[in-house]
Every structure is written in C-alpha cells, then in structure tokens.
C-alpha cells in the first residue's frame, strides 16, 4: 500500500502497478476503486473493457501533474510524451482531492 501526497497532505491510498502484468491488468474486472491506482512507467491508458469511468492524471519525472482527463468507458487515451507515470481513480475523485495540473504528487510507500 502506498499514499498519494500533495503539499504534505494525504489525498488517497494507492495501489502500485509497476510490473508489465500489473499495468496491463490495471482496473479491468473491477466494479469500483477506493483510492487510486498508480501505473509506472506509463504514458497513456485506455478504458476498453472497464466497468466505470475514471479520472486520469499524467505526471512527469518530477511528479508534477502535466495533464488530467476524465475518461468514459471503452475509450483510448492519447499518449502524453512527457508523462512518466499515470494515476487512475474513480471519476470525481480528483475534484474531491483538489488535484489539478501543476500539482506535485509524491508516492509514499508504507514500508518507508
């Protein structure tokens, strides 16, 4: 388990998808998501076969949000060349967390 932190404020718990298999599986087969899923490395995502719409944040190598999007089910996103990781959350989560382009997000692991 990990945590998404912005400006010393914990926004949400996060699952990490760092292996090719974990990234490929993503949120497929789930009916909902509490917290977030962090895919790294990652530059683009799709929602083909997903059961719910998601919020997507693309972060650069410094953890700065360079783009956000709301993706409906069964869509293919556009690659973001400067992105190094992606945060996925259930649609509406970013508004609740106050996450915006330009925010710096830190991923903190429990084992630290």
- Here the CATH number for the domain that contains residue 85 is 2.60.120.1140
Quick: pLDDT tens for 62-91.
999 999 999 999 999 999 999 999 999 999
The upper half-sphere exposure of residue 80, i.e. CA atoms within 13 Å in the direction of its Cβ, equals 23
Quote the Cα angle for 97-99-103, to 5°: 140
**Token pair of 57, please?**
């944040």
d(CA 74, CA 83): 22
Given a cut of 70, whether residue 54 has pLDDT beyond it is yes
Q: Residue length, the chain?
A: 112
Residue 84 domain boundaries? 2-109
Q: Structurally, how many domains does the chain consist of?
A: 1
Q: Identify the DSSP state of 96.
A: H
CA–centroid distance for 82 within its chain:
15
Q: How would residue 6 be classed by pLDDT, with cut points 50, 70 and 90?
A: very high
- Please report, to the nearest 10 degrees, the dihedral formed by the alpha carbons of residues 26, 14, 19, 58 taken in order: 70
d(CA 83, CA 80): 5
Q: How would residue 111 be classed by pLDDT, with cut points 50, 70 and 90?
A: low
């Amino acid at each position: 388990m990990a945590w998404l932190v912005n400006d010393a404020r914990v926004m949400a718990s996060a699952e990490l998808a760092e292996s090719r298999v974990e990234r490929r599986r993503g949120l497929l087969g789930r009916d909902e998501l509490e917290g977030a899923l962090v895919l790294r490395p990652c530059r683009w995502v799709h929602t083909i076969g997903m059961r719910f719409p998601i919020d997507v944040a693309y972060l650069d190598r410094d953890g700065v949000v360079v783009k956000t999007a709301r993706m409906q089910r069964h869509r293919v996103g556009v690659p973001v060349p400067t992105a190094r990781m992606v945060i996925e959350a259930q649609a509406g989560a970013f508004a609740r967390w106050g996450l915006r382009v330009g925010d710096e997000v830190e991923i903190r692991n429990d084992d630290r």
